[in-house]
Structures are given as structure tokens and as C-alpha cells.
Structure 1
């Protein structure tokens, strides 16, 4: 897994959200949370596993919505941040955080209603094995996002410290088939790169987002989108 040691550093964990989801990055945070809430609804009493939960952005949100949720991550530092967030939101007794390896999930088959992962597959060195494990422990739904090969991200991907694994639609469809999953829905978004939004103040980011959304609604929008959200069902 790319960046495994980097994500386990205490300084990286403590600064993770402030660096990525402040200023114009708040817009990204809102959109990703909207994607998760929409895909997983109805959420109350749903048994959910989040892979690579990091600082608990989604885990805590879903606990607040009434999910029975477990967040798993390999980074103890990230999980410490997640537990602090859960306590601050008053949901620390409504969820569970575990340190573990996504390649060897410590759960029996068909244990969860939904298994999902955000900001994970761009770092995966063996995506087929990770997706197969997610499908194994889910009895219904698997949800995840990818960064896309034919997008603005491909222009600057080589400049990123760890790079990203970029996917095209055919590769994702092969991965789904290999894991015994059936695609239910795919949403494509962010023609403009994430990195641009993070450099902008909130009000300026909103202007760019309106342009981005308009471009996304054109025939060129889906092929050029930098992010895709994949909602699949166990066959």
C-alpha cells in the first residue's frame, strides 16, 4: 500500500484534515460526505464497515446518522484523531475503531450490510485483493471511489509525493466482476482537480465549483471527471 508509513506519522494525522479540508477544501469534504450519505441511505441501524477510516470523517458522520459502524485503519495515529473526534461529537459509544489491515479483514463472511472505502483505492497496490476482501465481508453493498486515468489529475499525478493509481471504467468493471460484484450506480465528478480547490478561499472555490458542475453536465463531463463513486452489490 502506497504511503503506509507516511499516513502513520503523528504529525501527518494531526494535520490531515486542516491541510485538505479547510478553505476551498471544505467543498470537497461536503461533496464526499454527500456521496456517502446518498449511496448508503437509509442509514439508521445499517451495519457498516469503513475501510481506511483515517481521522473518522465518515465514520463519525454515519454514527451520528444512526449507523452501527466500525472504522478500520492501519494507522494508530489516524485512529487516535478519529477517537477524539467521536468523543467531541458525543458518539464514541455508538461506534468502534479497530487497527487492522484491509488485505486481511478480521471479520467473517457476510458480516456487514455495507462496506465502503473513500480515498483508498488510489493507494492500493493490489486493488483486486482489497476489493475481494470488501465483498467477502459484505452481504449487500460495496461502495468506493477512484481517481480517473483520463482526467486533469493525470496531468500532475507524477508531481504528487506518492502519486496515485488512476483507473479507467473498464478496469473498474473488471475489478467488480472479479470480486463478484454488480455495479448498481456510478457517479462522476470534479472535472477541475482537487488540488486547485484546496488553494482557494471558500467564496472563490464556490465560483469555480459552479463552473465545474456546469462542465460536468456536458457530454464531455463524465469522461473528463477526475473522481468516480462506485456503488455495487454483492451477487
Structure 2
């Protein structure tokens, strides 16, 4: 997986949320969490695995919604931030953080109702193999996102410290077909790149986001969106 060493650094883990989800990045955080909750539906009593859970943004949120959650990540530093976040939110008993490799998940077949993988596929060196492993441990559903090839994401992709894999909708469709996964729904969003939102305060980001969403409703804009949220059935 790309960026393993970068993500495992202590200073990166400590600053990760502040750098990406403060200022205008709060709009990104809110949208991503909404996409996950909309796809998963009622969570009370569900067993959920989050792949590449990082600092626990989604892991803690899912536990707060009543799910029994396991968050898996390769970075011990990121997991430590997640544990602090879970303790502060009072959901320690509803989730577990494990260090592990998404390519070799340490769980039996059909162990979880749902597997969630956000901010992961752009780092995957073998997405088909990773998706196959997620399918193996999921009974019902997989939810993930991808960054899109024909979008503003490609403008600053070269500047990322670990690079980034971009996908077309057709490539994702092929991945799903190879793993015999059924597409339930997909949502495309963010014409403007994430980097723009992170660089500006909310007072500027909010009107840009309003315009972004308005333009995004126009026909033929889906393939220009920066990110897609995929909900598939096993």
C-alpha cells in the first residue's frame, strides 16, 4: 500500500485531523460522514469493520450510532489517536482498534455485516485483491470511496507525498464485476478539489461549497466530480 511509512509517523498522526478537517475541511468531513451513514442505514447492533480507520473519524461515529465496530489500520500512531478519540467520546466498550494489513484481514469469512473503507482505495496497490478480501469477511455490504481520474483531483495529485490512484467509473465497475459485487448506489461529489477547501476558512469555503453543489446537479457533471461514494451488496 502506498504511503505506509508516511502514515505511520507520529507527527503525521498527531496533526492529521487538524490539517485535513479543520477550516474548510470541516465541510469534507461532514459530507463523508453523511455518505457513510446514508449508505449503512440503521446501525444499532450491527457488526462493522472499518479498513484503514486512521484516527477513528468514522470508527467512533459508527460506535456512537450503536454499531459494534472494529477499526483496523497499519499505523500504530494513527490507532493511538483513535483510542484517545474513542475514550473522549465514551464508546470504548463498543469498538476495538487493531493494527493489521488490509490485504490479509485477521478475521474468518462472513464475520462482519458491513465493511467500510474510506480514504483507502487511492492508496491501494492491488485494489481488486483488497476488495476480494473485504468481500470475504463481509456478509452483506461494502462501502468505500474513490478519487476520480477525470476531475480536479488530478491537478494536484502529483504533489501528494505518497501519490494517489485515480479511478474512472468504468474501472470501478470492472472491479465490482471481478468480485461479483452488486452496485446498490453511487454518489459523486466535489467539483472543486479537496485541497482548495482545506486551504481556506469556512467563511469562504461555505459559499464555494454551495456553488459546487449547485453546478454538480447539472447534467453530465458526474464524471468531473473529485470523489465517488460506492455502496455495494455482497
2:216 paired with 1:221: no
SS at 1:29 equivalent = helix
Alignment-derived partner of residue 54 in structure 2: 54
Alignment-derived partner of residue 166 in structure 1: 166
Alignment-derived partner of residue 72 in structure 1: 72
Aligned residues: 234
Query: Residues 6 and 162 of structure 2 are in contact (CA less than 8 Å); yes or no, is this contact kept in structure 1?
Result: no
Q: How big is the alpha-carbon RMSD for the aligned residues of Structure 1 and Structure 2?
A: 0.7
Query: Residues 8 and 75 of structure 2 are in contact (CA less than 8 Å); yes or no, is this contact kept in structure 1?
Result: yes
SS at 2:210 equivalent = helix
Query: TM-score normalised to the size of structure 1?
Result: 0.98
Query: TM-score normalised to the size of structure 2?
Result: 0.99
Gaps spanning 5+ residues in structure 1: where? none
Is 128-137 or 148-157 further displaced after alignment? Answer: 148-157
CA distance in 1, matches of 2:131, 2:139: 14
SS at 1:26 equivalent = helix
Gaps spanning 5+ residues in structure 2: where? none
Query: Residues 135 and 180 of structure 1 are in contact (CA less than 8 Å); yes or no, is this contact kept in structure 2?
Result: no
CA distance in 2, matches of 1:210, 1:221: 15
1:72-95 Cα offsets, whole Å, 9 max, x none, are: 001000000000000000111111
SS at 1:166 equivalent = coil
Alignment-derived partner of residue 201 in structure 1: 201
CA distance in 2, matches of 1:192, 1:225: 8
CA distance in 1, matches of 2:131, 2:36: 17
Query: Residues 148 and 225 of structure 1 are in contact (CA less than 8 Å); yes or no, is this contact kept in structure 2?
Result: yes
Query: Residues 51 and 72 of structure 1 are in contact (CA less than 8 Å); yes or no, is this contact kept in structure 2?
Result: yes
Offset, 1:187: 0.3
SS at 1:71 equivalent = strand
Alignment-derived partner of residue 128 in structure 1: 128
CA distance in 1, matches of 2:95, 2:157: 35
1:25-63 Cα offsets, whole Å, 9 max, x none, are: 001000000001111111111110000000000000010
CA distance in 2, matches of 1:159, 1:15: 18
Offset, 1:185: 0.4
Query: Residues 149 and 168 of structure 1 are in contact (CA less than 8 Å); yes or no, is this contact kept in structure 2?
Result: yes
Query: Residues 152 and 193 of structure 1 are in contact (CA less than 8 Å); yes or no, is this contact kept in structure 2?
Result: yes
